[in-house]
Amino acid sequence: MDAIDGAEKMRAAYEVPFPLLSDSDLKAHEAYRVIHTLDAEGVAKLKHHGLDIERWSGRDHHKVAIAAMFLVGKDGKVRFAHASADYMTRPHVDQVLQRVTAR
């Protein structure tokens, strides 16, 4: 959901060796249904913690991404999907690696 420059800064800061999607218009997020719309309290809470989602996305929506991971094969088929509104719920690395190495 980051603006292009924000996604690039994150990629560089964490030395991510692949391109990151910048989707501030939310097209991919909507397609994968991984959006959470914040109410005024949620927006204020993020601002209190120094996160201005309007500035970060370059848009005036109050939406954030749900933590999600999708592994897509070269054929365009989704091989693994995980999405959870609870950002602390993540797949175990073994689950992901098993799907990456599966044929």
Beta bridge partners of residue 84, listed in sequence order: 67
Residue 79 has a CB neighbour count (10 Å cut-off) of: 12
Q: pLDDT category, 4, cuts 50, 70, 90?
A: confident
Q: How high is the pLDDT of residue 48?
A: 93
Q: What is the pTM of this model?
A: 0.63
Each residue's pLDDT tens digit, 45-89: 988 998 888 887 777 888 888 888 888 888 888 888 999 888 788
- pLDDT tens column, 20-42: 777 878 888 889 899 989 999 99
In 14-83, which ranges are continuous DSSP H helix? 27-32, 40-48, 53-57
Backbone φ and ψ of 75, nearest 5°: -85, 0
| Whether 81 contacts 70, CB under 8 Å | yes
Q: Could you give the 3-state DSSP secondary structure of residue 37?
A: strand
Handedness of CA 22, 23, 29, 32 (dihedral sign): negative
